[in-house]
Structure 1
Amino acid sequence: MHGLLRRLFAPRWQHPDPEVRLKALDQLDPQQPEQQLALKQLAQDNDSTIQLAALLALDDLTELVNALPKHHQDEAWFNAICQRLCGTQGHTDLQKRQAIVAELSEPRLLNAIALQGDNLNLRLTALEQLTDENDLVHQACHNGVAAVRHQAAQRIESEENLKKLLKEARRDRQVIRHAREKLTQLRNDAEWLAEQQAQREHLLAQLEQHARAPWEPLYGGRFRHLEREWQRLSHPPSVDQEQRFHQALLSCRKTLHHHETQEQARLQSIAHREEIERTRDQLLEGIEETLEGLTHAEQLTVQDIDSLRAQRQLLSQRWQSLSDQHPPGDTTQQRYSNALKRYEACMEAWQRWQAVSSDIETAIANQDNAAVAKYVKQCAWPKHLTPPALLTHAKALKVADDASKPSPAATLNALSADVDNFEHLLERGAFKSASRLYQRLKPSVEELTGEEAKPLKARVKQLSARLAELRDWRGFVAGPKREQLCASIEALADDHHMAEAALDRHHRQLVKEWKSLGDAAANREQSARFRAASDRIHERLASWREQLNQERDANLKGREALCEQLETLLDQPAEDADPDILREIRDKARHQWRHYSPVPRDQSETVGRRFGAIRHRLQALIDQRAEQIASQKRLLIEQAKRLLDDTEQPLAARITHTKQLQQQWRALGRAPKGEEQALWKAFRHTCDQLFAQRDAHKHEQAARQQQTLDQLQILIDEMDSWQPTQAKESAILDTYLNSISQLEPLPRNRRSDGMQRRLSGIIRAKRERLSRLEIAHTVQQWQTALPLINAHLAADQQALAGEQPHAIDAKEVLSEGLPTIFTEAHQQRNHARLTTSIPLSAEKHAELEDSLARLRVHLSLLALGSVKQRDEPLRLAIQVERLNEGINNERNRSDEIIDILASLMALGPMPDPLWRKEAEEFNHLFNHLARVPHP
């Protein structure tokens, strides 16, 4: 009961029936607060129709727009929102509508607002929200506001939509022009992009080919040129192109780095070789100066011989080491051999002297002059070598052997010389020799008497004290030293952790120091200790030395095998051997030679000389092949110079031949050092001169082409400004065309293409105007001959009426005379009137009617380009005839019109009704053809 009462007494806008609620909604006033509240409740109704009506009654545009997504299929909602946003209904102000439109994303609604909006800004706002270019094309073609059309056209970017816009936009020329400009820009951009891509691909191909090529003198310059050309392109490369570019870049830089490394190594090798030569010269100069000094010294001493021997040992070691690195030249080797011969001669003389020196000393002490002479002769001391002091004294005694007993003064002088020698021996520290000489001098000095001998005795006494001091000092120093050396060698023998090489080195040093002590403070116990420890070390190093000897033998065999391989190569060298490969073989052989080290000392010098000779032969072969390459390169330079001087041969052929010469140059190896750069500079200078001629020719050709284009531009401008007024002015057009033909062939570039397109358009326009003028002139001649045509019609009517047919005289009818093109037609008309049977048969009448219609249709095709629907069959037949006639002979419009007019004049006898039926259409066509086009 309660629900029934509530339904009975509830307001009608709350009725369960939607139709009742809808009718009640129409009675609600949104100005009344209670009714406005009811409308707001109805705006939330489940029925979309009631909800829409409530929102429309409230004029709540915001809620309408917000609810649109739920009712996007409802046309009523869409139309209502569209009408209120466009301003045709509702009272929402413009700013609010514009703000709502700025938030919209529904394309259909935005299109409708852009087409129907009541304000320009509202339409532009809706247009801004559109993103689909198809919608923009629609707006640009069909919007009623020009500003909206232009704005929409400016936002279209794709080529397809621009073509569509160009095809459909018939209302706005600015839109068409904008679409055409954008299409042109797109095409230009596409061409530019394609050109950029093509240039990048071309540069990439060149760079990749350059990366695979070997190094040459122009390698770095070409690489930098290609890199600059790549950087100069403005369009960014693709990822694949960038990767390829960087890969080729790395390869080129690797080649350059490898060459720089090789060049640096070569320079270092040259510097090292020069350093070796300087060291050799210093070593040779040192031993030569020493040997030369022995010939000019006052006397030869043990110290001098020891110094010479040490210098010879150093020379031998350093010479072999330097020869392993770089063989000496012939002159240097000869100097070395001569120095060795002088050294050997000196050492042999010294060895002979050492063998007899003690005997000579004893003989002198015993005053046995005969023995002294014998030993001096046995010594056979060279004349160029300074003798020792004792030998000089012995020679002096030998000279005085046959003389009488010397005087006291001579004896005093001889003893004085011996004392000088004694003092010299003490200064040198030669204890043994000094002691022996003192024992010999002491009795002789003690036998001297007189005042003259006192200084000599005092001097001998003083020197004897020095001899005793030297004896004491040697014992004082040598004793602890010997004990130290014994302890050191025993410790060395007990050290089982030291490497064999270090053990051998320390052992040799200790033995050398022990021998240097001589007999000072010598005792058997220390000597036995030292010898036992040394033997223990020798036993320990026996296996290592055996292994070292085996290694030296293996290295010797390796060096000999290397020498055999190189000798085999040098015995049968290839005629076209590349000197670069030979240089590589030389360097590798030198590296292997150093690897096979050390070798046995007794065979080191022999195999070293063998390897040095091989190196000389290999270097000679390298120099020979390099000289052959230099000769070939000189021939290439001569060919390039002949090409430079050959003016009869075309420049393009000479440039091609020059490039072939450059390829041949790159295929050859390197010439000798120092000559390669000079040859390359000469060849490059000649090639540069040829290429300079090519560049000058290109510049000259470009200047001529520019001049030709300027002349063509002048002719085009003159043609464009010239406007023919008579048909006979076609000769002027022929004159222009002859002048243009003299400028051909034209260069192929964008300017030339544009000028040719403009020229074609101008020529087409001028020919069209001349053709129109010629047609107008022909029609004027027809109109001049109209009295004659009327006379023919009158005569035809008289003949058809039964009167006697007669011919018309053109001179009597026309005051100016009949035009030549109609003379034959006039005669044919008279002949037809005189020969046609009267009255006309139905077939003749139909034939005349058909011929007249065909002439009208044909003339309409030429004048208007179209015919009436009823004349379509005739048009097709005429078109077929025109095509058949045009296969063998192409005719222009003027000739066809002349033929039509002549046929029209010759057609007769013509009944007046038939003529009047077509006369008006003919007059209309004649008036159209007689119009002269405006300039």
Structure 2
Amino acid sequence: MHGLLRRLFAPRWQHPDPEVRLKALNQLDPQQPTQRDALKTLTEDGSDTIQLAALLALDDIQGLISGYAKRPQDEAWLNAVCQRLTGVEGHIDLTQRQALVAQLSEPRLLNTIALQGDNLDLRLTALSQLSDEHDLIHQACHNGVAAVRHQAAQRIENEESLKQLLKEARRDRQVVRLARDKLTQLRNDAEWLTEQQAQREQLLKQLEKHANAPWEPLYGGRFRHLEREWQNLEHPSSTDQEERFQQAILSCRKTLHDHETQEQARQQSLIRRAEAESTRDKLLEGLEETLDGLRQASEVSAQDIDSLRAQRQLLGQRWQTLSDLHPPSNTIQQRYTHALTHYENYMEAWQRWSETESILESALSTNDHPSIRQHIKRCAWPDELAPPALLKSAQTALRAEAIIEQRKTPSLSAITAELDNFEHLLERGAFKSASRLHQRLKPSLDTLTNEDAKPHKARLKHLGAQLAELRDWRGFVAGPKREQLCASIDALADDQYMAEEALDRHHRQLVKEWKSLGDAAANREQSARFRAASDRIRERLKPWLKQLTQERDINLRSREALCEQLETLLDQPAEDADPDMLREIRDKARHQWRDYSPVPREQAEAVGRRFGKIRHRLQLLIDQRAEQIGQQKRALIEQVQALQNDSEQPLAKRITQTKQLQQQWRQLGRAPKGEEQTLWKNFRHACDQLFAQRDAHKSEQAARQQQQLDNMQALIDQMDSWQPTHANEATILDDYLKQASKLEPLPHNRRSDGMQRRLSGIVRARRERLSRLAVADTVQQWQALLPLIKAHIAADQQALAGETTAEIDASSLLNTKLPTAFTDAHQQRNVARQATSAPLSAEQLTALEDDLARLRVHLSLLALGSVKQRDEPLRLAIQVERLNEGLHSERSRAEEIIDVLAALLALGPMPLALWEKEVKELDSLLNRLSRVPHP
């Protein structure tokens, strides 16, 4: 019975029949609290249709979205959600719809919103939630808004999707162009990536090959070049490539280190060898000086020999010690052997002299000259060494005896020597010299009558016969030769086609051969014949010889002019003359000197000496300038070394200065031969050290930039995970921005650009949320003032009724202190109430109604972003005022809402009917403003 009564008297929206409930639902008014509660109850009904109808009646978009999530295949729910989110149905403000769309992930719903949304930002928000490239292609090709099409096209990155977009997007040229540009960029990026990979692989192969190669002079330079090329590549290397690169780097550095170690060891060995050579040279010079002093002495004593023996013993010990460490060079070893040979000869001679000294002294006391001669011969004292005093006396005695014997008889030994010379001349065929010597020897031998001269006379006779035979032979040979020379010179004189130069050369050769015959087989007819032909040739050569003389004079003047030019240059040389240019002048002068030949024989020697002196002076000037350049280059090396050790100046400035010094080095000429390569090696080594610092600095800077990017990435991730919950958390965002500013500027690359875009998006989202939180706090402050507002409304009614009212005290009505922003408005409301007389006139009531409507429209703009059609004029006026105020100062949304609410508090006295007419919509707008989207 109770159930029947309950069904009979229960509301129709609780009827068991779904159709009855649906009909009753359509009659419920959501504006009535009771009926609104019924609608909320029906949102949990068992029928999907009733739930959908109840949610539509309540305009509950959040409930619609939640219900659709459970029924993704239900078209009714899909259409309902789409109509509400796109703005076709319902009164949901744009900001809330954007926030809801930003949380969606269902592609069908997002595609529909992007295609049918009533606001560009709403469409773009829905598009930003789409991730499938097929959906993006559909939006880029079929969306009715160009900005959405372009945004969708920009998000397509896949090559196949871009090709499909290029085929289907025919209605929008910009989309086609964008797809074509992206395809081109993808191809370029792929080519660039392939090229980078190829370059890295090629560099790796070169570096690995270089690492396995032995050291050579350009090993370090090539290694640094390959390392710089690797670092200059923009695309990062793979892990395997990086491992191979590091392994090759270690191998190359090991090769360089091993070479440096070997070079240092070699240099130390060379230094020790040089020191040993220097010590040997000094020891050997001491022995050689002692031997030379011994040779130049007037006589040799036992003390000299003892000193020489001691020095030789010391030299032998030191020489053996040094030879055990480093063997001597061939030159110094030869000098050592030569000096030891002399030493041994002198010591053997002194030993022989010591053995024969006493015997020779006895023979000298008895004037036994044969015994003295025998002992001196036995002693065999060296000729280059001064003999001892006793030996010198013995030699003097023998020379005196030989002089006495020579005065008695002609020197047979001298005659023997002359005969030997005579025989030698005959063997050579020197007829004239042999004939003169025969004429001088024959009278000398004829005067000798002793037996010892007979062999010499016989020998002279035999040689005289050979001389006569030689005379006959010369005549036999010279006769045909003279006839041949006459025939040759006649043929030469008759030859009219031979060139003058060849004719002169052959003529001189024939004359020389004729003169070489001397008087052998000479006759007047042949001599006259030869002379006549020679005169004919000379007569024919006179014009050529005259021309040749002129050419020689011209060459002589050219040589003298060349000498004058060079002397002028040398008398006033430029202070900064380039030695390379001077060397070029020297070489060209040599070539010109050779070209200016022949010259007259009389002046050739004098002008040659003059040119030789000039060349010597020019070479001195070249050496002087080269030495100056060498000093300048040594100064440049010192400057580079100073820059290398200068830690106060920035590295970039030092590199710039080093490049300037390199430019100065190139502008200078060459240093003296032998120094240029050493100076260049030292200069290049110093520059390479500085450039190595630059490379190390670049590597350090790259690592620092990488760390900077990593820190920025961590900061962005931290900001992304942070969601503010109170408006006063704006300081946290400021702290994040300060940290980000400390990490800036970031290096320019794709990663940093992406970071900047992501950071900007996060900051924009967090600022928007903080703004919404600030607005919510402002609304909460207003809601806390409701007791004060109600008191003002009640007091206004009393004042409008003509009753006396007291001033409203905010402190007695509120639990907290009245906010500063509303203090002035509260006082203005009290003052306005006291100053207004009841009842209000029609004009005052109209003005009050207009002000209240204006505040409502202003608040609607801030809450919904749109107004009703009837409020469009007010919206335009408010927009103009907002633009004018924005020119002077920019206000936040929360500050603008505070100003509107303060003006609303100050507006009065307010009739109750007018207030109740607007208060519901005002409360609805404030409720919307107080909603904060979920993080």
- Partner of 1:573, secondary structure, is coil
Rounded to whole Å, the distance in 1 between the matches of 2:406 and 2:585 is 77
RMSD between superposed Cα atoms in Å: 4.6
CA shift for structure 1 position 484: 1.3
Match in the other structure for 2:873: 873
* Cα 1:881–1:566 shift into 2, 3 Å: same
Give me the whole-angstrom Cα distance separating, in 2, the residues matched to 1:412 and 1:832. 169
**SS of structure 1 residue aligned to 2:624:** helix
Q: C-alpha distance in 2, partners of 1:637/1:844? A: 96
User: Paired residue for 1:848?
Assistant: 848
Tell me the alpha carbon deviations over residues 722-781 of structure 1, each in whole angstroms, 9 at most, x when there is no partner: 111222322322332233333345445443343233222211110110111121232234
Report the 3-state secondary structure (helix = DSSP H, G, I; strand = E; otherwise coil) of the residue aligned with 2:873.
Answer: helix
Q: Which residue of 2 aligns with 1:154?
A: 163
CA distance 1:619–1:882, change in 2 (3 Å): same
One-letter amino acid of the structure 2 residue matched with residue 494 of structure 1: D
**Contact kept in structure 2, 1:582 and 1:622, CA below 8 Å:** yes
Partner of 2:599: 599
Q: Distance in 2 between matches of 1:716 and 1:743?
A: 12
Q: Distance in 2 between matches of 1:723 and 1:836?
A: 49
Q: Secondary structure at the match of 1:649?
A: coil
Read off the aligned partner of 2:681 and give its amino acid letter: K
How far apart are residue 891 of structure 1 and its match?
1.3
Superimposed CA distance per residue, residues 157-207 of structure 1 (whole angstroms, 9 cap, x where no aligned partner): 6999897565xxxxxxxxxxx99787667679999999xxxxxxxxxxxxx
What aligned pairs does 1:460-859 form with structure 2 within 5 A after superposition?
460=460, 462-786=462-786, 788-797=788-797, 799-801=799-801, 805=805, 822=822, 825-826=825-826, 828-859=828-859
Q: What letter is aligned with 2:499? A: A
| Partners of 1:493 and 1:537 within 8 A in 2 | yes
How is 1:46-125 mapped onto 2 (pairs within 5 angstroms)?
none
In the alignment, does 2:922 pair up with 1:922?
A: yes
Q: CA deviation at 1:918?
A: 2.4
Q: 2:322 maps to what in 1?
A: none
Note if contact 1:483-1:526 (Cα within 8 Å) is conserved in structure 2.
Answer: yes
Q: Distance in 2 between matches of 1:496 and 1:559?
A: 35
**1:570: how far off?**
1.8
Q: CA, structure 1 residues 444+845, in 2 after alignment: closer, same or farther (shift >3 Å)?
A: closer
User: Are the counterparts in 2 of residues 163 and 183 from structure 1 also a CA contact under 8 Å?
Assistant: no
Q: Give the letter for the 1:851 counterpart.
A: D
Q: Is the 8 A contact 2:141 2:168 kept in 1?
A: no
**Deviation of the 1:910 alpha carbon:** 2.2
Code of the residue aligned with 2:524 in structure 1: it is R
C-alpha deviation, 1:629, in angstroms: 3.0
Residue equivalent to 2:324:
none
TM-superposition CA deviations, 1:615-672 (whole Å, max 9, x none): 1112222222333333333333344344334333344443343333333333333333
Deviation at 1:837, TM superposition (A): 1.4
Contact residue 162 and residue 179 of structure 1 kept, 8 A: no
Shift of residue 822, structure 1, vs aligned partner = 4.6
- Give the deviation of 1:848 after TM superposition: 0.9
> In 2 relative to 1, CA 892–421 (structure 1 residues): closer, same or farther, beyond 3 Å?
closer
Contact preservation (8 Å) 1:137, 1:153: no
Q: Which amino acid aligns with 1:932?
A: V
Change (3 A) 1:705 1:568: same
Letter in 1 for 2:696: A
Structure 2 distance, partners of 1:518, 1:616, is 45
**Distance (whole Å) between structure 1 residues aligned to residue 668 and residue 407 of structure 2:** 89
Structure 2: which amino acid aligns with 1:527? S
Q: 1:431 to 1:157 in 2, by over 3 A?
A: same
SS, match of residue 559 in structure 2: helix
**Partner Cα separation in structure 2 for residue 679 and residue 404 of structure 1:** 72
* Equivalent residue letter for 2:883: L
Contact 1:775 1:929 in 2 (8 A): yes
Note the C-alpha offset of 1:854.
0.8
Displacement after TM superposition at 1:867 (Å): 2.2
Question: 2:162 touches 2:182 (CA, 8 Å); kept in 1?
Answer: no
Partner amino acid for 1:489?
I
Give the structure-2-normalised TM-score: 0.55
- Segments of structure 1 that go 5 or more residues without pairing to the other structure are 1-134, 167-177, 195-217, 235-399
SS of 2:921's partner is helix
Change (3 A) 1:160 1:515: farther
What is residue 52 of structure 1 aligned with on the other side? none
What is the DSSP-based 3-state SS (H/G/I as helix, E as strand, rest coil) of the residue aligned with 1:837? coil
- Greater displacement, 427-436 / 714-723: 427-436
Change in 2 beyond 3 A, CA 1:784/1:179: farther
Query: Deviation of residue 433 (structure 1)?
Result: 5.3
Aligned in 2, Cα 1:591/1:636: closer, same or farther, shift over 3 Å? same
Report the alpha carbon displacement of residue 715 of structure 1 after superposing the two structures with TM.
Answer: 1.3
Q: Is the 8 A contact 2:811 2:817 kept in 1?
A: yes
2: CA distance, partners of 1:785 / 1:573? 103
Q: Is the 8 A contact 2:445 2:457 kept in 1?
A: yes
For 1:888 and 1:843, locate their aligned partners in 2 and report how far apart those are by CA, in whole Å: 33
CA distance in 2, matches of 1:191, 1:755: 20
Matches within 5 A, 1:243-258: none
Aligned 8 A contact 1:136 1:153 in 2: no
Percentage of matched positions with identical amino acids: 71
Alignment partners' CA distance in 1, 2:140 and 2:475:
126
Question: Alignment partner of 1:881: what SS?
Answer: helix
The offset of 1:892, in angstroms, is: 0.7
What do residues 580-616 of structure 1 show as CA deviations (whole Å, max 9, x unaligned)? 3322322222221111101122221111000010111
Q: Which runs of 5+ in 2 are unaligned?
A: 1-136, 146-151, 193-217, 235-401
1:681 maps to a residue whose letter is K
Task: State the match for 2:81 in structure 1.
Answer: none
Q: Residue type matched to 2:163 in 1?
A: Q
CA distances 1:452-490 after superposition (whole Å, capped 9, x unpaired): 776556545543443343233222222222221111111
CA shift digits 1:817-849 (9 cap, x unpaired): 866655554554455444421111111101110
Give the match for residue 170 of structure 1: none
Distance 1:555 1:160, change over 3 A: farther
> Structure 2: how far apart are the matches of 1:405 and 1:584?
70
The Cα of 1:514 is off from its aligned counterpart by 1.7
Distance 1:445 1:741, change over 3 A: closer
Q: Deviations over 1:669-702 (max 9, x none)?
A: 3333333333333333333333333443343333
The aligned residue for residue 328 of structure 1 is none
CA shift in 2, pair 1:926/1:495, >3 Å: same
Structure 2 distance, partners of 1:452, 1:770, is 147
Supply the distance in 1 between the matched residues of 2:584 and 2:831 (Cα, whole angstroms).
109
Q: Give the 3 Å change call, closer, same or farther, for CA 808–187 of structure 1 in structure 2.
A: farther
CA distance in structure 2 between the partners assigned to 1:883 and 1:902 by the alignment: 20
Structure 2 counterpart of 1:882? 882
Cα distance between partner residues in 2 of 1:667 and 1:496: 61
In structure 2, distance between residues paired with 1:495 and 1:795? 156
Match for 1:603: what amino acid?
Q
**Partners in 2 of 1:655 and 1:450 — Cα distance?**
102
Q: Secondary structure at the match of 1:875?
A: helix
Distance 1:434 1:899, change over 3 A: closer
User: So what's the TM-score if we normalise by structure 1?
Assistant: 0.55
Aligned counterparts, 1:266-415, within 5 A: none
